[in-house]
Amino acid sequence: MTPEKQQERVRSSFAKQGLMTTLGATLSSVSPGMVEIALSPHPAISQQHGFVHAGAVTAIADSAAGYAALTLMPADTGVLTTEFKITLLAPAAGERILARGRVVKAGRTLTLAQAEVFANTGGQEKLIALLTATLMAVEGRDGISD
């Protein structure tokens, strides 16, 4: 697949994720092995202290890692997250939350990807979370193709 087709595949799949729309997340960048997803803090995605909920931070981080993996997979292959770990370093507060996923090692069956999550305030970026995920390439299973 060309980078353009890969990008199109990620964009089309992302648009089908109801949760991303619900959270207000947007796909801000797609390139081979790297995907960025952004989120604007608002009350509908908050936790009890007013920060962005770890669940929302995790959702964009996991998606960024998963789509980064998908950009390096063959056509007609879907991607599933088998597991991930996230370390939360600071409250998710700021004007914009940005998850940057990148592939660490792409394998035939399993891919290791990481996502760093940054909080942006007044042009300053602060690392607020680090996710490590194992992604599995699946072929023609349950109609999964992205």
Give the footprint of its own copies on this chain (CB under 8 A). 13-14, 16-23, 42-49, 53-56, 58-60, 62-63, 78, 80-89, 91, 104-105, 107, 109-110, 112, 127, 130, 132, 134, 136, 142-144, 146
Nearest approach, Cβ of residue 134 and its own copies (Å) = 6
Closest CA to 37 of 117, 131, 125, 120: 117
Nearer to its own copies, 17 or 31 (CB): 17
The 3-state secondary structure of 45-94 reads HECCCCCECHHHHHHHHHHHHHHHHHCCCCCCEEEEEEEEEEEECCCECC
36-74: b (≥16 Cβ within 10 Å) or e:
bbbbebeeebeeeeebbbbebbbbbbbbbbbbbbbbbbe
Closest to its own copies by CB, 32 vs 44, is: 44
The residue (of 7 and 13) whose beta carbon lies closer to its own copies is: 13
Q: How far is the CB of 55 from its own copies (least distance, A)?
A: 2
Nearer Cβ to its own copies, position 85 or 122?
85
Residue 96: CB minimum distance to its own copies, A:
17
